Structure 1
Amino acid sequence: MDRLGRGQRERAHLPHRDVDPHEEDGLRARPAHRLLHDPHLRASALPSQYYVRVLSESWLHAEAFHAMSLQGLVLPDRHRAHTELLDLDPLPRSALNDPVAEAMYEKRFTHFNPIQTQAFHTLYHTDESVLLGAPTGSGKTVSSELTILRLFKQHPGQKVVYIAPLKALVRERIDDWTEGLCRILNKRMVELTGEYTPDIRALLAADLIICTPEKWDGISRNWQSRGYVKKVGLLIIDEIHLLGADRGPILEVIVSRMRYIASQTGRSLRLVGLSTALSNAQDLADWMGIGEKGFFNFKPSVRPVPLEAHIQGYPGKFYCPRMATMNKPAYAAIQTHSPTKPVLVFVSSRRQTRLTALDIIAYAAADERPEAFVRMADGEMEAVLAGVRDPSLRHTLQFGIGMHHAGLCESDRKLAETLFVARKIQVLVATSTLAWGVNTPAHLVIIKGTEFFDAPTKRYVDFPITDILQMMGRAGRPQYDKHGVAVIMVHEPKKNFYKKFLYEPFPVESSLPEQLAEHINAEVVSGTIATMQDAVDYLSWTFFYRRLLQNPSYYDLESTEPECLSEFLSGMVEDVFATLEEAGCVETDEDGGVEPTTAGRVASYYYLHHRTMLTFSSSLHEDMTVEELLHVLCAAHEFSELPVRHNEDKLNFQLAGTVRWQVDTRTCDDPHTKANLLLQAHFGRGELPISDYVTDTKTVLDSSLRFMQAMADVSADSGWLATTIAVCNLVQCCMQGLYPEDPSVMQLPHITAENAQALPILPKLLADASCNHERVTNTLTNVVGRRNAVEVVRVLQRMPIVSVSWGEPRLVELPSDSESDNEEGDEEHMWEVTVRLVRDNGPKQRKSRASAPQSYAPRFPKVKEEGWWLLLGHLPTQELYAIKRLSFSNSTSVRLNFPTTAGNLENLSEVTVILLSDAYIGLDQQYTIKVPVHDNSADVGVGLNKQVHPARARRRDEASGDAQEK
């Protein structure tokens, strides 16, 4: 039994006879679904069946045998539709016939490359949608820029949306186009990723929107109410061949939805898909509505800079020793193929970057050439090393070798990139994500291993072929090299596979069925789907539908006959509706109609998995504590993707002994437990065991904010006042990195748990700072010193002091069809109260601000504006009547409604209004509003007759948990 609770797992070997070498897997005591791929399957020699045998690695005579019939298998057509590269004279830059556009490329090239030349007329002189399939390094980005130039020239006022699958690619486009395209053309561009969410004004004013698939999917779901979505005239999707990857369904839904929007609005939409070479590119083009003029699918061998590839096999059953045996050949490859030119070495993990770099240094030292890769003077090197924070990177840079991975801080990563691009260092060892992110081409690329550790399955799995091609594509610099070199080091049994298929165009299949429930729910919420037939019709817009007809066996469709196809799609939709109904996201009727529920709307708005909504709906209840809510938050399905790397279960076990709230130490290898521990470590402000956990904490915090907002909506919909307040308190804890019981003054710089006891609570300190600046400075000087006291006062002046006032409640008549009407019709009126919020402090120029000021939250990884929750409830019954989420710069007024009775009371005598910050702990305010005697005969007038300054308001003292008069 595993004492750390890592789960019982048996190692087993799965040989599929007469096909490929066996595969090893870990089997748990639960159903598992795993596909054994046979790359040699051909229609001309299709066997009648395969034999699969499962052998235990630990137990004698523990085996299973299964004959897998292939009799009903229908293979797809073998598409070989390639675009021949014509022998054309390269077009000069002047072919743009626009001096401003030519200025964009003045310092980059004089002539377009052969691929750009061949597609130039279609890209620049027509509005045809385009699919451009070409190898990495073929200049596809410049090709997409030609379509942008045409849109801005021919269709002013329309917007461009550029979708990249990774934030690193988005950042690369932002950096490149900020200095180039946008500056020269005087266009406005916004970034839309998990780290940056511009306000509505920025989106309305933007000419160019650069975003990740998830962000545009979330925005375009409500396209009916978002005019800027309808103004999109050009949609560019980079790396569209990733349709078959994990995030492929999002790309598929985006294209389908944007085409549907264009058909509904009658506006033209140009689609541009950028891809590597595909074997079924014609299916992709047909689905996107791309005609013959816009179809370009060049062979993988077509590259502006020819690539020389070497595939080397290495024996060894175990991963880490096999990686170690590759280090000396990697050093030898550098000496053979690129002794003086830039070299990129791709590895699978952050640990491997360090081990590989150290071994290369050792081999260079053994050759008595320790500084063979250094390309700068000693004085310059010393200045560079002074700014490096990571000790391992500082060490390797001394020998001309950089490292690049997500565990490094932003400044260290940028420094490694800059030094490599500037040719100050010769070798850069990086994880595979660099291949998709920063454009750092080299003469030689070494791919050291084609496997990575997949945390959810706890095993090493192969990189997708697309990733291998992307890494290889970094070899060969168009400005410097006549050819590039790639050395691919693989496990010996897989050598023949890579030799055969590395340059074969591969098919793209749809992954939409795996995530169909989330996207169907979004369309139900938007109103696109109201019946089962609507859902079937919706599927006909997708790439999945087209591939279903072409490759039915891949999707478990027995026949493409109309009756069988209709039954298959109807069954799929029924299953999705049943799944969503079980999760509480939709309600169906006997006639096949479907309507969204509140949970469904929340899931769509906050981009949540239906399992997450099921967890929230079933786990949230009345009177929950912040600790209980943290466990619910970390149970979100999305956190199952949080990596628990090799040996991190041991680190989690150690971390569990340092946090304040207990976790189940038997589940230390569970990503949900890790998320809980990371958040508690964030609250406790303790040291994390490794740098990877810093990056993981940022990931968890980034997702947690929208999860908690969804939890607040679910709780508010149920009318739970105490639970809703506790959710808001949890948001404050995440923003400030504190437990709810910690002194609120610890939000200020230089204030720790030790010296916080010498200071008053934050509301008192804030009120004093607004009226007696010198006295507060002197008080703080005695605690943190004069210099630090000045900084603390500066932060205090940023924090909000908000006055709350309200008008006398008045009765308002409900609409006749209001859901609040009961069957007897005795609930025809509701009370309405107008609450006014005024920010009393801050610089005078804030009066002209259009948006709220930024909150002070240095421990939160993203910049965030100040926001507030305004709650109206009844304390005796703990009922929540109304909740408003708002953000303002100077002042705002909000109308809140509440019923005329509460519980068993005939009339309400008073209600409570509560103001909660979404960023600061201890600034909450609570007031009692007296309700006039219930009189249906006349409305009660409104007048703002109660003014209370927050310095004298009733606030929550977080140290005691009780509300006190201040």
Structure 2
Amino acid sequence: MTNQNVRLPQGTVKKTFKGYEEIHVPVPKKKVDPSEPGLMPTSALPAWARAGFGTSQSLNRIQTKCYPSAFEHDGNMLICAPTGSGKTNVAMLTMLREIGKHRDPNTGDINLDNFKIIYIAPLKALVQEQVGNFGKRLEPYGIQVSELTGDRQLTKQQIAETNVIVTTPEKWDVITRKATDTSYTNLVRLICIDEIHLLHDDRGPVLESIVSRTIRKQEQTGDPVRIVGLSATLPNYRDVAAFLRVDPAQDLHYFDGSFRPCPLRQEFIGVTDKKAIKQLKTMNDVCYNKVLEQVGQNKQQMLIFTHSRKETAKTAKYIRDKALEMETIGQILRVDAASREILREESEQVGNADLKDVLPYGFGIHHAGMSRADRTAVEDLFADGAIQVLVCTATLAWGVNLPAHTVIIKGTQIYSPEKGSWVELSPQDVLQMLGRAGRPQYDTYGEGIIITAQSELQYYLSLMNQQLPIESQFVSRLADNLNAEIVLGNVRSRDEGVDWLGYTYLFVRMIRSPGLYQVGADYDDDETLEQKRVDLIHSAAMVLEKANLVKYDKKTGRLQGTDLGRIASHYYITHNSMLTYNMHIQPSVTPIELFRVFALSEEFKYIPVRQDEKLELAKLLQRVPIPVKETIDEPHCKINVLLQAYVSRLKLEGLALMADLVYVTQSAGRILRAMFEIALKKGWASVAKDALDLCKMAEKRMWPTMTPLRQFPECSGEIIKKAERIDVPWQSYFDLDPPRMGELLGMQRQGRQVCGMVAKFPRLEISAQVQPVTRSMLRVELTLTPKFEWDDALHGRAENWWVIVED
């Protein structure tokens, strides 16, 4: 992966110190092209389109160059440009182009029922930021912008009312995997994919899936869908353009580092110590030296990124303590008495103890574990210049736009719950963090400093100087993605599978560098790699058949989906997990065993049990209600305990354990729903009911023994406590009037409120008439009568029910 012979720009200097070495890369020179036209004023846009650009007077260099292909043509586009250089506005131009097609030039009315625009961003934080950004700018056109992520589902009606949907790649993949609901996917006319260089990441296959599905469908139906890719600068942009079917002469735009609004001076520091403790101390000392140099002498603000929440406070305290010891704190703090007073006052207001401790010295900390109020206070103090040094985690880089003259990335190892170990930071994280260096309105350049281990220095040098080509990771997910296409009916045979592979980025890269993708000499005379694709599809189909997800006829090549295949595709379950569920979910399975089956999922196979977590896990194991068969040394035990700890709302201590909990519970909803559907398809009523209960426990975070009143947001903790102390079955609550309810709970005043909640609790009265038709067939007529009060705020647009009929 590392490019050993990195060509570094002229003027690069290397310095060696005790314990580390520094490489300084100078600021790139702005290229001046005499033939380049001036910036395009926004007044040159059609009058109706100017509202989308608010008060800006002109487009910037990148937007001016992209304007003709973005706003005057309909071809697919790829724009490669540095972070923070205004690519989003190019996407905005393509949106306005689409909106313009549905606008009546005489009346100015826009026909909102005829089109949808999808904007795909890789992280929830970015999705929320773009919803705010586009929502404000498209408001003058009466266009609704909505977020669609794991956290935010939209009802059919909301989707119908929305024209611009901002979502994550996975979510859009799941939606387009469901063939039944094409009512609005057929209206999509424009898809913008932000950060398309993520093709290189573990999540890359999702992007390949979406793009190949879109282009193939477009060719089959003839409905035009425009795809616009936005990416950071990368060397093999022509490959990505070929994958997106972009016309390289007209619609491919590539801008290098000199187009950054605030050019970047880079420093790479490689720590030569091998021992972890020494490495950490050297990194801390380097941070201290840089703070003195930048904040002390040059009076510049600085962001320091660390990779765990605890580390933010440790780093801030280390630099502060060393400055106190060396008597240099006066150089770091602002001189004026007013800002010192502000810091002192604010430090009394904030809740976080570590923040209280460092604020008076001009240091701040910021991470997702802090309260919203504390984070906002820190953001405001930094923006006003009262805080000189802000130590934070990566969430700040992706969410809040707080630039600083200097950015330090301290250490490049980050904990990954999927892999269960520490891994190197992903390229897009590094680019995003360094994207915060330099404030365009004040600085002529920004400074980015990466502190890493000596062994990783080459990797970051080649990464930052755009010399690492982007590869396809599609083979790793080939079987699951093939299954999704079979379920959709897009691939019905081996030959159609081969055709589908021809639309992927994998295909583009296999042709460009066959050696990397095991395309050996046997395929030499096969120019379109047809045989290689046949082999890939054949082996993926065999894997899927083994897991009972498809039926595969090897002679004719026919591929046919199964019920299990449909469940796997709709709930995003891997074929190995389906194999496990199929084996373990039997008619006799108990609720206790269902927890265990959940823990066996392939999604969690890399989560280890660490030595330092065993004590905390042992404590949790005693506090969770469902017994666990395995011992504490086994990862399955840990996953089972984490799911139960989540349902029980227990507090966790360890950082890595917390990251694992979040990872396990993010997948819990869809995995448990899939287990429920498997039981349903097999026709096992009691197992299905147990699995459905388990789904609800995880979704509502409560056990069946707890009072259902917990599901009412307005129900006070006091009422819940009283209701769980008395041993009265839930059914009896429905017969009580307010005075008797108050008496039962020993809370006379609350009787009326509790009765109001009980009345809204969803329940049905079911009466059935059963008639035998033949010996093996019954006719069942059901009458369902709702016995509860409907409340839109509580029940939303609809309530779902499962009616289970068993003999």
In structure 2, the residue matched to 1:158 is: 115
Q: Which has the larger radius of gyration?
A: 1
Alignment of 1:805 onto 2:773:
no
> What CA distance in whole angstroms lies between the structure 2 residues aligned with 1:746 and 1:121?
57
Q: Which amino acid aligns with 1:841?
A: E
**TM-score normalised per structure 2:** 0.86
CA pair 270-795 structure 1, distance change in 2 beyond 3 A: same
> What CA distance in whole angstroms lies between the structure 2 residues aligned with 1:160 and 1:95?
25
Q: Match for 2:517 among 555, 559, 571?
A: 555
In structure 2, the residue matched to 1:764 is: 732
CA pair 707-445 structure 1, distance change in 2 beyond 3 A: same
Deviation at 1:243, TM superposition (A): 0.3
1:240-269, Cα deviation, whole Å (9 max, x unpaired): 011010000000110111111211221211
Deviation at 1:396, TM superposition (A): 3.5
In structure 2, the residue matched to 1:96 is: 45
Alignment of 1:434 onto 2:399:
no
1:844-870, Cα deviation, whole Å (9 max, x unpaired): xx4xx5x9715xxxxxxxxx9754322
> What CA distance in whole angstroms lies between the structure 1 residues aligned with 2:677 and 2:33?
56
Alignment of 1:359 onto 2:324:
no
> What CA distance in whole angstroms lies between the structure 2 residues aligned with 1:722 and 1:343?
60
Q: Secondary structure at the match of 2:438?
A: coil
Q: Secondary structure at the match of 2:304?
A: strand
In structure 1, the residue matched to 2:82 is: 135
> What CA distance in whole angstroms lies between the structure 2 residues aligned with 1:555 and 1:730?
43
In structure 2, the residue matched to 1:750 is: 718
> What CA distance in whole angstroms lies between the structure 2 residues aligned with 1:496 and 1:610?
37
Deviation at 1:805, TM superposition (A): 3.2
Q: Which amino acid aligns with 1:869?
A: W
**Contact 2:81–2:255 (8 Å) recurs in 1:** yes
1:459-510, Cα deviation, whole Å (9 max, x unpaired): 5432233332222221112233221111121223443554455213421111
Q: Match for 2:147 among 177, 180, 191?
A: 191
CA pair 668-789 structure 1, distance change in 2 beyond 3 A: farther
Question: Aligned Cα RMSD in Å?
Answer: 3.2
> What CA distance in whole angstroms lies between the structure 2 residues aligned with 1:789 and 1:694?
39
Q: Which amino acid aligns with 1:280?
A: N
In structure 1, the residue matched to 2:597 is: 632
Q: Secondary structure at the match of 2:541?
A: helix
Q: Which amino acid aligns with 1:482?
A: T
Q: Secondary structure at the match of 1:873?
A: coil
> What CA distance in whole angstroms lies between the structure 2 residues aligned with 1:664 and 1:406?
35
Q: Secondary structure at the match of 1:834?
A: strand
What does 1:111-122 align with in structure 2 at a 5 Å threshold?
111-122=58-69
**Contact 2:541–2:550 (8 Å) recurs in 1:** yes
> What CA distance in whole angstroms lies between the structure 2 residues aligned with 1:650 and 1:384?
37
Which of the two has greater strand per residue?
1
> What CA distance in whole angstroms lies between the structure 1 residues aligned with 2:83 and 2:231?
9
Deviation at 1:176, TM superposition (A): 2.3
In structure 2, the residue matched to 1:347 is: 306
Q: Secondary structure at the match of 1:254?
A: helix
Q: Match for 2:71 among 121, 124, 132?
A: 124
CA pair 183-414 structure 1, distance change in 2 beyond 3 A: farther
Alignment of 1:200 onto 2:200:
no
Alignment of 1:287 onto 2:255:
no
Q: Match for 1:534 among 489, 493, 496?
A: 496
**TM-score normalised per structure 1:** 0.73
1:204-251, Cα deviation, whole Å (9 max, x unpaired): 221100000011001112356412111111110000011010000000
Deviation at 1:188, TM superposition (A): 0.7
> What CA distance in whole angstroms lies between the structure 2 residues aligned with 1:793 and 1:536?
62
Deviation at 1:543, TM superposition (A): 1.0
> What CA distance in whole angstroms lies between the structure 2 residues aligned with 1:689 and 1:158?
48
Count the aligned residue pairs. Answer: 760
CA pair 456-182 structure 1, distance change in 2 beyond 3 A: closer
Q: Secondary structure at the match of 1:312?
A: strand
> What CA distance in whole angstroms lies between the structure 2 residues aligned with 1:316 and 1:724?
57
What does 1:827-846 align with in structure 2 at a 5 Å threshold?
829-842=777-790, 846=791
> What CA distance in whole angstroms lies between the structure 2 residues aligned with 1:260 and 1:621?
40
> What CA distance in whole angstroms lies between the structure 1 residues aligned with 2:253 and 2:725?
70
Q: Which amino acid aligns with 1:552?
A: P
In structure 2, the residue matched to 1:615 is: 580
Deviation at 1:555, TM superposition (A): 0.7
Deviation at 1:675, TM superposition (A): 2.7
- Identity, in percent, stands at 31
**Contact 2:116–2:190 (8 Å) recurs in 1:** yes
Alignment of 1:520 onto 2:482:
yes
Structure with the larger RCO, 1 or 2 (CA within 8 Å, 6+ apart): 2
Q: Secondary structure at the match of 2:718?
A: coil
Alignment of 1:259 onto 2:218:
no
> What CA distance in whole angstroms lies between the structure 1 residues aligned with 2:587 and 2:721?
32
CA pair 673-410 structure 1, distance change in 2 beyond 3 A: farther
CA pair 773-418 structure 1, distance change in 2 beyond 3 A: farther
What does 1:845-884 align with in structure 2 at a 5 Å threshold?
846=791, 853=795, 866-874=799-807
Unaligned 5+ runs, structure 1? 1-36, 43-81, 814-825, 855-863, 875-966
Q: Which amino acid aligns with 1:709?
A: R
In structure 2, the residue matched to 1:720 is: 684
Q: Which amino acid aligns with 1:763?
A: Q
> What CA distance in whole angstroms lies between the structure 1 residues aligned with 2:390 and 2:267?
20
> What CA distance in whole angstroms lies between the structure 2 residues aligned with 1:494 and 1:337?
25
**Contact 2:169–2:206 (8 Å) recurs in 1:** yes
In structure 1, the residue matched to 2:446 is: 484
Q: Match for 2:671 among 701, 707, 715?
A: 707
In structure 2, the residue matched to 1:588 is: 552
What does 1:463-482 align with in structure 2 at a 5 Å threshold?
463-482=425-444
In structure 1, the residue matched to 2:407 is: 445
CA pair 385-640 structure 1, distance change in 2 beyond 3 A: farther
> What CA distance in whole angstroms lies between the structure 1 residues aligned with 2:613 and 2:252?
48
In structure 1, the residue matched to 2:473 is: 511
> What CA distance in whole angstroms lies between the structure 1 residues aligned with 2:707 and 2:116?
49
CA pair 303-377 structure 1, distance change in 2 beyond 3 A: closer
Q: Match for 2:182 among 220, 223, 226?
A: 226
Q: Match for 1:369 among 325, 330, 352?
A: 330
- Which shifted more, 195-204 or 739-748? 739-748
> What CA distance in whole angstroms lies between the structure 1 residues aligned with 2:380 and 2:664?
29
CA pair 173-628 structure 1, distance change in 2 beyond 3 A: same
> What CA distance in whole angstroms lies between the structure 2 residues aligned with 1:149 and 1:502?
33
Q: Which amino acid aligns with 2:788?
A: D
> What CA distance in whole angstroms lies between the structure 1 residues aligned with 2:340 and 2:637?
47
CA pair 735-311 structure 1, distance change in 2 beyond 3 A: closer
**Contact 2:613–2:657 (8 Å) recurs in 1:** no
**Contact 2:760–2:788 (8 Å) recurs in 1:** no
Q: Which amino acid aligns with 1:196?
A: R
> What CA distance in whole angstroms lies between the structure 2 residues aligned with 1:541 and 1:761?
59
In structure 2, the residue matched to 1:147 is: 94
**Contact 2:439–2:446 (8 Å) recurs in 1:** yes
CA pair 477-643 structure 1, distance change in 2 beyond 3 A: farther
> What CA distance in whole angstroms lies between the structure 2 residues aligned with 1:692 and 1:411?
25
In structure 2, the residue matched to 1:297 is: 254
**Contact 1:404–1:429 (8 Å) recurs in 2:** yes
> What CA distance in whole angstroms lies between the structure 1 residues aligned with 2:606 and 2:345?
40
Q: Which amino acid aligns with 2:524?
A: E
**Contact 1:370–1:399 (8 Å) recurs in 2:** no
In structure 1, the residue matched to 2:20 is: none
Alignment of 1:333 onto 2:290:
yes
In structure 2, the residue matched to 1:168 is: 125
Q: Secondary structure at the match of 1:715?
A: helix
Q: Which amino acid aligns with 2:197?
A: H
